[in-house]
């Protein structure tokens, strides 16, 4: 029997992005204690992960925080692994100059209706129309004129200017200005039917992986570059720095408060059916 066959298998799903690759590098390469588990990495775009989380598909999965109220019967949130922006986040871009007021009568391409970027957009511009487009095709849709604007996530936040697109507004900047809190975009969730002792060990293993990457930045960045989608090393390092930070190691009270506020405002706007309190395993 193989070594992995003797250990409990834990499916761990996350996006094929440089920031996720950076934070999970040490766990994937055996650089930290796996606490006796065989972590099986599954890579999918965030919309796929959000939808599969509705079925409780993976043991541990990255999800948009907006998706949590819709999957909470399957999952609890983890304190580690969050992507949080302090006065920055997804950016709305367009071919022609536009203002935030123009968005109320515009069609904006989004990566999915369960993404936090979609929720923040609707909170900012309630009348906006949206069209779901794979995240890596959003800027092309804008350039072709198929939509008025696009809400770019992941590396597009740093590369839209190269595509000769105009920046309308940074949704994360708007959120922090309005609330005084960082914008919690995504986090990790673990299945409720996993016992607490096992869940806490998984949390420790993931947290160790994040800390290792931050302490061995060049080494982890070398690994992350293969997922950087057109970013050079300098920009990839900048992007990783945006979304692997102190909130990623431990969400903490400010992070928890931001998640709770996101849920409350989403509910008050009719975008989240029930008022949900975030529930963390640790």
- Please report the sign of the dihedral spanned by the C-alpha atoms of residue 78, residue 83, residue 85, residue 86: positive
Q: How many CB atoms lie within 10 A of CB 270?
A: 9
Q: What are phi and psi of 81, to 5 degrees?
A: 95, 10
State the Cα–Cα distance between residues 240 and 230, nearest whole angstrom: 14
DSSP strand E in 90-171: where? 91-94, 107-110, 129-132, 149-152, 166-170
The dihedral region occupied by 42, where left means phi > 0, alpha psi between -120 and 50, and beta the remainder, is beta
Residue 74, Cα to own-chain centre: how many angstroms? Answer: 19
Pair type for strands 166-170 and 91-94: antiparallel
Question: Of residues 14, 44, 74, 154, which has the active-site annotation?
Answer: 154
- Are the beta carbons of 199 and 190 closer than 8 angstroms? yes
SS3 of residue 280 by DSSP: strand
DSSP 8-state assignment for residue 126: T
Rg (CA), the chain: 18
As a dihedral over the C-alpha atoms of residue 173, residue 176, residue 178, residue 184, rounded to 10 degrees, the angle is 110
Annotated catalytic, 154?
yes
SS3 of residue 234 by DSSP: helix
State the Cα–Cα distance between residues 105 and 125, nearest whole angstrom: 9
Beta-bridged to residue 39, according to DSSP, are: 10
Beta-bridged to residue 107, according to DSSP, are: 129
What residues act catalytically?
A: 154
């Amino acid at each position: 029997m193989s070594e992995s066959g003797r250990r409990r298998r834990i499916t761990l799903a996350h996006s094929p992005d440089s920031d996720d690759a950076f934070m999970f590098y040490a766990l994937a390469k055996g650089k930290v204690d796996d606490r006796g588990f065989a972590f099986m990495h599954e890579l999918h775009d965030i919309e796929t992960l959000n939808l599969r989380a509705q079925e409780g598909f993976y043991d541990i999965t990255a999800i948009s925080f907006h998706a949590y109220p819709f999957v909470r019967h399957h999952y609890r949130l983890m304190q580690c692994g969050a992507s949080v922006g302090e006065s920055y986040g997804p950016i709305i871009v367009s071919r022609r100059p536009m203002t935030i007021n123009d968005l109320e009568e515009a069609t904006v391409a989004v990566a999915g209706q369960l993404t936090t970027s979609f929720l923040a957009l609707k909170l900012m511009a309630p009348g906006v129309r949206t069209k779901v487009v794979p995240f890596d095709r959003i800027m092309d849709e804008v350039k072709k004129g198929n939509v008025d604007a696009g809400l770019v996530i992941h590396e597009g936040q740093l590369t839209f200017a190269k595509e000769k697109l105009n920046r309308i507004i940074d949704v994360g900047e708007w959120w922090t200005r309005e609330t005084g809190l960082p914008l919690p975009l995504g986090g990790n969730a673990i299945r409720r039917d996993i016992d607490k002792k096992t869940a806490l060990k998984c949390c420790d293993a993931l947290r160790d992986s994040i800390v290792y990457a931050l302490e061995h930045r060049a080494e982890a960045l070398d690994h992350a570059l293969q997922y950087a989608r057109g970013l050079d090393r300098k920009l990839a390092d900048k992007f990783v720095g945006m979304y692997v930070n102190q909130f990623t190691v431990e969400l903490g009270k400010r992070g928890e408060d931001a998640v709770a506020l996101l849920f409350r405002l989403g509910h008050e706007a009719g975008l989240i059916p029930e008022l949900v309190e975030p529930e963390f395993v640790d």
